[in-house]
Amino acid sequence: MPHAHHASVESVWISVALSFVAIVYLRQWLRVAWLVPHVVKGWRALSFFVGLLLVWVGLGSPLSHLDHDLLTVHMVQHLLLMTLAPPLILLGAPLKLLPQRPVQRQRLVELIARPLSSAPTRRVGHMLLHPAAGWIGATAALVVWHIPAVLVLGLRSEMWHGIEQASFLLTGLLFWWPVVEPSQNALKWPEWSILLYLFLATLPCDILSGFLVFCDRVVYPVYLSSPQSFGLSALEDQQCAGALMWTCVTIVYLIAGAVFAARLLSPRWSPDYLILQSESQAIAVAHRGEQSMEAV
């Protein structure tokens, strides 16, 4: 009962926080879209909101309360926070909606933008957005949190459970940034290397999921004492979790690789490419327009 009560309170706070982020994004997107239409297209804004919804499903929905009982639910959380939500959030281009210069009567947005635009933050950001940092961070989060002793620590400690979930989301965002926003990577890796990047990222997932599927014993004994929800034994639950990871990661990475390959093969002078390249300039125009309107 205490765990259920704490989970309910945590769900409320998570729902409030995500709602706040959604409102701030929508407000700023409407301001920019009003001044410069199609700068951040509607499908990108929708992608951002879907990504936030998936984060809520993983952290604040009733489904998240079952991760202590089923390894499969734990795996669903992991996939939502690391594999599905981050690319959708990044496709929403939230950083492009932040003003480049202080704007009157937008104190909240300016409060968010100011620390992100500082020189130290930019230097740290350049290091963290390096593809190697994203790959190592995501792989480390995957491996470390699925070590039996560490996984049990996350299940028994609310603090460590929160750290685990936060690390999944943060490393997921870092991992997907070079894929979704390769042109903004200051270190300028060859574009084709992102395909290798995605392929190498599947290897740790394949090893872990294959081990869970084919292992003939329960790797995480903590689930032996859990109620057999949905008629699954602990071993069947483990195999289901491994198969889910194997399937989901393979499909998502194949889709991402196919989209990226198509983008590489598309002509550089295509309209879509020119639109993407001009978004930054259009954003700057939008912010200058905001300043002019505020001055009037």
| Residue 54 structure tokens | 């998936």
Give the pLDDT score at 268.
54
By residue count, the chain amounts to 296
User: Per-domain residue ranges for the chain?
Assistant: 2-295
The residue among 211 and 226 whose pLDDT is bigger is 211
User: Is 218 within 8 Å of 241 (Cβ atoms)?
Assistant: no
- Residue 212 and residue 230: Cα distance in Å, rounded? 19
3-state secondary structure of 222: helix
Band (pLDDT 50/70/90 cuts) for residue 119 is low
| Residue 276 structure tokens | 């993407």
228-233 long-range contacts, CB within 8 A, separation 24+:
229/66, 229/69, 229/70, 230/70, 232/70, 232/72
Predicted confidence (pLDDT) per residue in 4-29, tens digit = 445 567 788 888 999 999 998 888 88
Predicted confidence (pLDDT) per residue in 56-81, tens digit = 999 988 887 788 888 999 999 999 99
- Residue 233 and residue 240: Cα distance in Å, rounded? 10
User: Is 69 within 8 Å of 229 (Cβ atoms)?
Assistant: yes
User: Is 296 within 8 Å of 127 (Cβ atoms)?
Assistant: no
Query: Looking at the predicted structure, is the pLDDT value of residue 153 above 70?
Result: yes
Query: Looking at the predicted structure, is the pLDDT value of residue 186 above 50?
Result: no
Round to the nearest angstrom and report the end-to-end CA distance of the chain. Answer: 57
| Nearest CA-CA partner of 212 in 151, 153, 284 | 151
User: Is 234 within 8 Å of 216 (Cβ atoms)?
Assistant: no
The residue among 127 and 203 whose pLDDT is bigger is 203
Mean of the per-residue pLDDT values of the chain: 79
Give the pLDDT score at 232.
81
pTM for this entry: 0.78
